[in-house]
Structure 1
Amino acid sequence: MTNLFRNCCLAILLTSCAGTPTAREQAGPGSRREATAIVANLRRIVTPMGVERLEKIRIGGIDQWVSIRGVDRANPVLLMLHGGPGFVSMPTSWYFQRGWEEYFTVIQWDQRGAGKTYLANDPSAVAATMTAERLIADTEEMIHWARKELGKEKIFLLGHSWGSYLGLSVAQRHPEWLHAYIGMGQATDVLESERRGWRFAMDRARAAGNEEAIRELQSIAPYAAHGAALELPVVAIQRKWLGFYGGQVHGRTGGQAEAEGFALSPEYTDAELASVWTANELSEEKLFPAVLRADFSNVTRLECPMLLFNGRHDYNVSASVAAEWFERLHAPIKHLVWFENSAHEIMNEEPGKMLLSLVRYARPIAEAAGDAPKPAPRDAATGAR
């Protein structure tokens, strides 16, 4: 071996070893606290114009928690309205959201009675205030706060599932506040959605010869019949088998993986994590009846742009019902984006396409309005920026 070759090999070895953790450092985290610290450090915002805030703000007369994250304050603001009711998205945002933060300043908000906000107030006192109209008013106040706090005339509003009920309600009332409304798992004619979800589950159960599922689903028939009230225990049976056959998360038997991901959230204390499902149950009890009564079939026009992100396999909130409604909708700009490998949890099921779709369809609206840094010019030869 020549001296030159020996020296090169030694240099490579030393360079590699310099950045390699010791055996002690390579050991996995010994606690949830250590694990979440790793996640927090990995996704830390370090850019000079970045923002990384986790704080309580006063909305609707109570303390409500928000996370605000982005690499450039000049980017447009995107407020996400979580689903459920009460199924907060902040605890898994460490997984699906980091790419969004390159192009948007993203606000995650734990709504009244949900997530971190549940323990920030007296739950028994807040419970009496949890109505659909109060949550819509909270959303309006939240948008007003975000626009003022971040110096934006307009923002993007993304509503997921229950959040799409709030989001579409606000988009109807205040289109002038929004660059666009983005619906995902969009609630439209909810009882028709429920009927199609039941039919999906029953068809799959019969095809599989699953006698238990057939018996339980038949016990709640006729499900979501016209003029009949739906009770939560009945809905739970439909959701049980709908989820089992991949109508909630495509290719899985429910949302367990996402729920387990909550444990890695740096935003949540142990106490908040322990109470998150109690908060979810409270939100469902107080707000789900309003969801079941929702019917936006008569909404045929929006005065702001609208994007519909639709999971091809979503039966939790029927993608086909939403697409049929969207076909009839008139808006200044509208785009329907199908996610072929997703059901209801699009941002977790196809996070790459979710990011691409936000950048391709949403951000140009803000750029055209002068609310985003101008993209770098393309190279004439390669087309790259």
Structure 2
Amino acid sequence: MISAVLIASAAALAAPVAGALGHRRLKQAAGARLMRIDTPSGIDEQGFVRIGGVEQWISVRGDDRDNPVVLEIHGGPGASNAIYGPRTRAWEKHFTIVRWDMRGTGKTLRRSGADRQGELSFARMYEDAVDVTHHVRARLGVDRVVLVANSFGSTFGLRLARQYPDLYSAYVGTDQNIHDAGRDDTAHRALLGRLHTAGKRKELAALQETGADTRTWTAEQFGAYAKIAATSDPLTFSTMKSVVMKSLWFSPLHSLAELGALGKGMRLSEQVLPATAGFDDWADGTAFDMPFFIFQGDRDVLTPTERAKRFFDDVQAPHKEFALIEDASHFASFRHPEQFLRLMLTKVRPLVANQEQAAAT
């Protein structure tokens, strides 16, 4: 949902002044040193796997192969999590982190080009997620993995958790996206209020013309809404600048050409959004046959915290917990990776470890 917010900035980063390039190289080198894994039982694999007929980039990293495996489903659509490697390095001391650039995203897009991404649809990408899960289980020799989904990725995540409880040891949603077939317009009304207070007449008029019913929106209107929502909220906009854009620019895993591909991928992937506007997570089911967690920014305006909490309250699961990440809007786990890790260690990892012990006996 936030892809349009990043496109212009990603493009601008691809053409910097010479001084900025030198600073970038220094920061990239520092990031690469931080990300180095040299433990005897560690793993650091990055490469392409043929998934659904497309060469797709998958990274597997961790200090100890015996740690629980986490499979991330990134948001956007088209917004790779690979850029956050240095910020989330501490996670890899306690979990093996699997990151995947979906078709139409980042390194996967760069590998084959836009005309060789195959079908870009929610259904096709959902099947890719299932295939990636099977690949990870086979590659790492584990029966189940922890499913961590953020932002638009959590739209896939809820459906994967419902349909495939045997593949996942727990579900963790952050920046949790809840669909209700357009019934709840409180976030839209709140945005109109912010724009009115700020005197943003042009943006206000555009959103009033678009209307609150997302089922009628085009891909471009989804993008425009996300951009206005993010830039009109001080906390979200601050996070965009201090966390997201800096992670993009200083990523040790991405060349300048790949930064351009990230921007193109976010624009390309927006076409997936309209097909999801009629989704209804309550109608699809609130029963999950696995531990269920939502760790949400306490002030998220893009995937509203209040809606995520209402859905969570209706969830039936063997174990469930909801926790707030303080001083965070969207991108909560990446704004405060230490808070997110603390939640993973105190709430998720003990349950997963108990499952593994029970399975071994």
Query: Deviations for 1:135-167, whole angstroms, at most 9, x for unmatched residues?
Result: 111111111111111111111011111111111
> 1:335 is matched with which residue?
321
1:272 is aligned to 2:258: yes
Q: 1:295 pairs with 258, 276, 280, which one?
A: 280
Shift of the 119–371 alpha-carbon distance from structure 1 to 2, 3 Å rule, reads farther
Query: Deviations for 1:50-84, whole angstroms, at most 9, x for unmatched residues?
Result: 11111111212221111111111100000111001
Matches within 5 A, 1:217-232: 217-220=207-210, 222-224=211-213, 228-232=215-219
1:109 is aligned to 2:100: yes
Note if contact 1:79-1:156 (Cα within 8 Å) is conserved in structure 2.
yes
State the 1:328 CA deviation.
0.7
> 1:242 is matched with which residue?
229
**Structure 2 counterpart SS, 1:176:** coil
> 1:363 is matched with which residue?
349
The 2-side partners of 1:277 and 1:351 are apart by 24
1:135 is aligned to 2:149: no
Q: 1:189 pairs with 174, 179, 192, which one?
A: 179
Note if contact 1:75-1:371 (Cα within 8 Å) is conserved in structure 2.
no
State the 1:219 CA deviation.
3.0
1:74 is aligned to 2:69: no
Could you say which structure has the greater relative contact order, defined with CA pairs below 8 angstroms and 6 or more residues apart?
2
**Structure 1 counterpart SS, 2:45:** strand
State the 1:348 CA deviation.
1.9
**Which structure has the highest helix share of the two?**
2
The 2-side partners of 1:320 and 1:72 are apart by 37
Amino acid at match of 1:175: P
The 1-side partners of 2:162 and 2:226 are apart by 29
Note if contact 1:194-1:317 (Cα within 8 Å) is conserved in structure 2.
no
**Structure 1 counterpart SS, 2:281:** coil
Q: 2:114 pairs with 114, 123, 144, which one?
A: 123
The 1-side partners of 2:357 and 2:45 are apart by 21
Note if contact 1:64-1:110 (Cα within 8 Å) is conserved in structure 2.
yes
State the 1:252 CA deviation.
2.9
Query: Deviations for 1:246-281, whole angstroms, at most 9, x for unmatched residues?
Result: 2xx725357244134212212223322221111111
State the 1:34 CA deviation.
4.6
Amino acid at match of 2:80: V
Misfit runs of 4+, over 6 Å: none
Shift of the 29–47 alpha-carbon distance from structure 1 to 2, 3 Å rule, reads farther
Query: Deviations for 1:96-151, whole angstroms, at most 9, x for unmatched residues?
Result: x111111100011111110100021242132x411111111111111111111111
The 1-side partners of 2:257 and 2:184 are apart by 34
Note if contact 2:300-2:328 (Cα within 8 Å) is conserved in structure 1.
yes
Note if contact 2:236-2:330 (Cα within 8 Å) is conserved in structure 1.
no
The 2-side partners of 1:295 and 1:41 are apart by 44
Query: Deviations for 1:355-381, whole angstroms, at most 9, x for unmatched residues?
Result: 101111111112102369xxxxxxxxx
> 1:13 is matched with which residue?
none
Query: Deviations for 1:216-255, whole angstroms, at most 9, x for unmatched residues?
Result: 33333x3217xx5111333334323311232xx7253572
The 2-side partners of 1:359 and 1:301 are apart by 24
The 2-side partners of 1:83 and 1:91 are apart by 13
Amino acid at match of 1:224: D
CA RMSD of aligned residues (A): 2.3
Q: Which runs of 5+ in 1 are unaligned?
A: 1-26, 373-385
Shift of the 292–355 alpha-carbon distance from structure 1 to 2, 3 Å rule, reads same
Note if contact 1:197-1:242 (Cα within 8 Å) is conserved in structure 2.
no
1:98 is aligned to 2:84: no
TM-score with structure 1 setting the length: 0.82
> 1:304 is matched with which residue?
290
Query: Identical aligned pairs, as a percentage?
Result: 28
Note if contact 1:86-1:279 (Cα within 8 Å) is conserved in structure 2.
yes
Amino acid at match of 1:54: Q
Shift of the 371–35 alpha-carbon distance from structure 1 to 2, 3 Å rule, reads farther
**Structure 1 counterpart SS, 2:77:** coil
> 2:152 is matched with which residue?
162
State the 1:32 CA deviation.
3.9
Note if contact 1:43-1:98 (Cα within 8 Å) is conserved in structure 2.
yes
1:177 is aligned to 2:163: no
Q: Which runs of 5+ in 2 are unaligned?
A: 1-18
Note if contact 1:200-1:242 (Cα within 8 Å) is conserved in structure 2.
no
State the 1:198 CA deviation.
1.7
Amino acid at match of 2:98: I
